[in-house]
Amino acid sequence: MVDVRGVHKSYGPLEVLRGVDLRVGAGEVTVVLGPSGSGKSTLLRAVNHLEKIDRGFVAIDGELIGYRRSGDRLHELKEREILRQRSRIGFVFQSFNLFPHLTVRQNVAEAPLSAQRRPREEVEELTAELLDRVGLRDKADAYPRQLSGGQQQRVAIARALALRPKVILFDEPTSALDPELVGEVLEVMRDLARSGTTMIVVTHEIGFAREVADTVVFLDEGLIVEQGPPAQVLDAPRHERTRAFLGKVL
């Protein structure tokens, strides 16, 4: 479903991604671990072309993201086409990024109505189903400022699901939450994993990775140092850098 090949990204002289290769199958959950500054968020943002990569490519379900191929060269798509592609890629940010002037119901419905131009009746029905799924149907007419951080993040997940995405990207979705609110968000994510949603999750929640991930990736200094099943990467890491990192976070 997701194919990342030889991806490089630099900001001036700073090389943030140094040739990343990553494949995620349909219905799989990949958890990306790594220290701050390792390139985790940049990798996620490259997947939906929020970051333009310098070399390599990203494809989702066989379609190049952000570019079209002409011979042996890649040419960036027009913004309209890029937005069309993004409308099939869910993204859940650290800081929720809800529209403060819209209600919960309107936040979830906005993208299907405006970006995908789906019928209003269909979107209203879907919005109710999704809010029920994340346990917030009773908050449909509330505004983000009236919600806890955990509730806001659950709305953000419902908003991502409303796009009917091929994959959902999570960028440290619990890092901005009080510890007591983390569990409610992780439970929604566990439900998504059980339902076969394709997910790439950047997180420091090792317990979640151990329980839910099909593959755990350890990224350091812009390179994938180690990847494999949770039992291998988390319990018997082969690389010294992975062992050092886990020794600090476990």
pLDDT digits (tens, 9 = 90+) for 14-68: 999 999 999 999 999 999 999 999 999 999 999 999 999 999 999 999 999 999 9
Q: What six digits make up the tokens of 229?
A: 């099943």
> What is the pLDDT, as a whole number, of residue 245?
95
Structure confidence at residue 128 as a pLDDT band (50, 70, 90): very high
The model's pTM: 0.94
> What is the pLDDT, as a whole number, of residue 72?
84
Query: HSE of 56 in the Cβ direction (CA atoms, 13 Å)?
Result: 23
Kindly report, residue by residue over 164-203, the tens digit of the pLDDT: 999 999 999 999 899 889 999 999 999 999 999 999 999 9
> What is the pLDDT, as a whole number, of residue 116?
87
Pairing of strands 223-228, 63-64: unpaired
CB distance 173 to 92 below 8 Å: yes
Rounded distance between C-alpha atoms, residue 247 and residue 250, angstroms: 6
> What is the pLDDT, as a whole number, of residue 144?
97
Q: What six digits make up the tokens of 241?
A: 């850098």
> What is the pLDDT, as a whole number, of residue 250?
79
Percent of the chain topping pLDDT 70: 100
Kindly report, residue by residue over 211-226, the tens digit of the pLDDT: 999 999 999 999 999 9
> What is the pLDDT, as a whole number, of residue 15?
96
